[in-house]
A and B are shown apart, each in its own frame.
Chain A
Amino acid sequence: MENYLVGLQPRTEELIRGTRDWDRKRIGDEELEELRNAAASRDFSLQLKLEYTYISDPMFYWQDLIRPFVDSLEGLDSGPQLTRWFDNNTFYRKPKINAYPNILQRKLLKYYFERLWDLGSRAKVILPAPYGLYTASDDRYFPDKRSGVLSFAQEMERVALLLEEKGVGQIEFVEPFLFFKHPDQADVELAIDAFNLTTQRLKCEVMLHFPFGNLAGHFREVLDFSASVIGIDFFSTSLSDVTDFDTKKGIGIGCLDGRNSLVEESSWVVSFARSVVEKLGDIERIAIIPNCDLEFLPRVIAEEKMKTMAEARRRLESNE
């Protein structure tokens, strides 16, 4: 039984005030950095205290899942257009693809807190899946979608290998685009090809997470992704629609709602996790996770949910 976070974590109220003050030039870079470090310390400490299997970077340098790649991938430029992030009251700036992507490693690494690398194989990093990164962008360069997606897949492999070299134990790829609406079969196949290209040489654990995605009718295809753990958002996919799951793959049971402040009872989480196992059979590896990034919640609620995750894991392990 495992526990870890997925996606971006919410900033503390102090850091929120700090970023606003920084925008208004009331504080400088150094003061903001102190606030950011303090918030990160709090987040790392809580994850360690709760004995999560992997400890993830809270991503306080990230404005959204895509922006660091606009900064560190040559060929991807920032666009002014604010675009809604799925069915959330949250936006990102849709990048433009103007050239073949080329990663600038030094630029990417500044988006991570240095202390993450000290955690060795307990560290986890989070990246957009190649199909998702391409789909989030406005392609003005490639002649067709397939060549664009596969080019991004190749470059994201370099990114993943760079992070693996840092010693991380798990790389989570986030794929919110593919199953948000019912996909074309060709898109599913392209996403699989791209993902498998990106991950083919990775030795660390690879998780593929589908926040906001309804996987109904696509479980056979999901198994073709070469990920050792599949993360399912159970607030978007009904348990009754989960079929054909390969029990050799691990499952991330996303049953703590990152988009509602109602904190789940640990007894409910335990009961739901058991019903998943009952339906799918004897799965070798199970992780209790949030269904999506907790950054859609205020920090105080997110921390309550983090504690509930740990408590549910404890109860499952001790068979309570």
Chain B
Amino acid sequence: MNKLFPTQEIGSIGKPNWRVLGYRGVPITDEDFSEARYWGKKLKVEGYEKLLELLKSDDSHEVREGIREWSAVYAIRLQEAAGLDIVFDGEQWRTEMYEALVKEVNGFRFIGHVRSWDNKYYRKASVVEEIKWLKPVYLDEYLFTSAHTDRVVKLPFTGPYTVTDWSFNEHYQRLLSETVKDPRELRKRAYRDLLFEVSRKLIRPEIESLVASGVRWIQIDEPALSTQPGKEQVSDFVQAINEATSGFDCKFSLHVCYSSDYEALFPELLEARGISQYALEFANRDSNRTGEAKRSGYGVVKLLGELAAGKEVGLGVTDVHNDSVESPSLVRDRVLHAARLIGDPSLIYVNPDCGLRTRSWKVTFNKLVNMSRGAELAREEYNQSA
């Protein structure tokens, strides 16, 4: 982009109650109805009165679909009103990043919930037979978003490593169990087999269908990539992602978050040649004070500068796990600090650490507004000093 420090979404936005209940056919409260009206007015959503009518209508398939579509329009308008340059639909049509993908393909069976942290859980599936891609999973979301915004559209979806890591691996382990007797070796080899199968048989066909329909920027979400400790695993990922992304006329960014050591991913990760941007979480590990000369957790930005990698960094400047809204000056400080470390400010994009799905719309909006203002402050300050 020509603009310095472009701002972008990074993942899901919370679903409003009227969306969750309305889509289930459960009556909403007056408070939920007021919320739909409030945000419709505030975000200047054109024709939002039609949503209000839908919310008062008797339940039907058409009503539910209509509510679902309106939630995407609202999420797009929220990002636009907050000043984001690169948008998507807040993943309003998805249940959850992992589930949304694997429930649409063959080979996976959901078997129950496991804990993520505290009282947060996710539904986990087992791979019980050979994986097979059936039809485009995200194409309708992309087409809908593109039809409802003039901003740059980036389509985020879950990558092969995370699908592998977040699934139980029954099928590929069973296939190897006759020949590999040591449990450690069995687990490791079955993991690799699944990773490459997901990459070839699921992710690549999905990318192929999206690019053929006009998608020009895909964000591969790989929160699991940072969980495995070794270089061997990073090399496996590189091979898998290269198999999935090679040969397409499309920009690919990679989102990784909550790693204990991003630097351990390099330099191997640079071999994933199709990836031009790393969108990483930083706010979670940084001081919340402004005016500090040294900030913590930015070692990987410095490393990318030293390696002269020429890769963009999607800089997480907004913590998605608490309601405290970062000030524009804090965002500015973070952006300028990263720009200094990497050496080329045009490589810095500005985003939240991760999806904001666990925050209310009020907090999400305020955080994104301040994020955009902070990026603007950084632009002004950089241009003055240049």
- Chain A residues at the B interface, C-beta cutoff of 8 Å: 10-11, 13, 16, 19-20, 22-23, 63-64, 80-84, 86-93, 180-181, 214, 234-240, 255, 257, 259-262, 268, 272, 291, 295-301
Cα–Cα, bound, A259→B226 (Å): 18
- Taking a contact as CB atoms under 8 Å apart, the answer to whether A89 and B182 are in contact is no
The number of A-B residue pairs with CB atoms under 8 Å apart is: 108
Cα–Cα, bound, A64→B111 (Å): 22
Cα–Cα, bound, A261→B229 (Å): 22
| A23 touches which of B119, B228, B285 (Cβ 8 Å) | B119
Q: Which one of B39-47, B167-175, B199-207 is at the interface? A: B167-175
Contact with A along B119-157 (1 / 0, CB 8 A): 101101010000000000000000000000000000000
Which residues of chain B (47-86) have a CB below 8 Å from chain A?
Answer: none
- Taking a contact as CB atoms under 8 Å apart, the answer to whether A84 and B185 are in contact is no
- Taking a contact as CB atoms under 8 Å apart, the answer to whether A90 and B187 are in contact is no
**A interface, over-half SS:** loop
- Taking a contact as CB atoms under 8 Å apart, the answer to whether B169 and A87 are in contact is no
**How distant is A270 from chain B, measured CB to nearest CB, in Å?**
14
- Determine if B115 is an interface residue (Cβ-Cβ < 8 Å): yes
- Taking a contact as CB atoms under 8 Å apart, the answer to whether A83 and B173 are in contact is no
- Determine if B258 is an interface residue (Cβ-Cβ < 8 Å): yes
Cα–Cα, bound, A300→B165 (Å): 20
- Taking a contact as CB atoms under 8 Å apart, the answer to whether B227 and A236 are in contact is no
User: Could you jot down 15 A-B contacts, CB within 8 Å?
Assistant: A11-B115, A20-B121, A80-B321, A88-B227, A89-B223, A89-B227, A234-B183, A237-B184, A238-B185, A259-B168, A260-B170, A260-B173, A262-B126, A262-B173, A262-B174
CB-CB under 8 A for A238 and B187, given A23-B119, A80-B321: no
Cα–Cα, bound, A252→B174 (Å): 25
- Taking a contact as CB atoms under 8 Å apart, the answer to whether B115 and A295 are in contact is yes
Cα–Cα, bound, A212→B161 (Å): 19
Question: Interface range on chain B: under 10, 10 to 19, 20 to 34, or 35 or more?
Answer: 35 or more
Residues of A contacting B227 in the complex (Cβ-Cβ under 8 angstroms):
84, 86-89
Which residues of chain B (88-127) have a CB below 8 Å from chain A?
Answer: 111-119, 121-122, 124, 126
7 closest Cβ pairs, A-B complex: A298-B112, A261-B168, A91-B117, A19-B119, A262-B170, A87-B227, A261-B126
Residues of B contacting A83 in the complex (Cβ-Cβ under 8 angstroms):
258, 260
- Taking a contact as CB atoms under 8 Å apart, the answer to whether B284 and A20 are in contact is no
- Taking a contact as CB atoms under 8 Å apart, the answer to whether A255 and B119 are in contact is no
- Determine if B224 is an interface residue (Cβ-Cβ < 8 Å): yes
**How distant is B114 from chain A, measured CB to nearest CB, in Å?**
6
| B114 touches which of A82, A234, A296 (Cβ 8 Å) | A296
- Determine if B166 is an interface residue (Cβ-Cβ < 8 Å): yes
Cα–Cα, bound, A238→B117 (Å): 30
Nearest A residue to B110 via CB reads: A298
Residues of B contacting A214 in the complex (Cβ-Cβ under 8 angstroms):
184
Residues of B contacting A80 in the complex (Cβ-Cβ under 8 angstroms):
321-322
- Taking a contact as CB atoms under 8 Å apart, the answer to whether A298 and B258 are in contact is no
Residues of B contacting A11 in the complex (Cβ-Cβ under 8 angstroms):
115
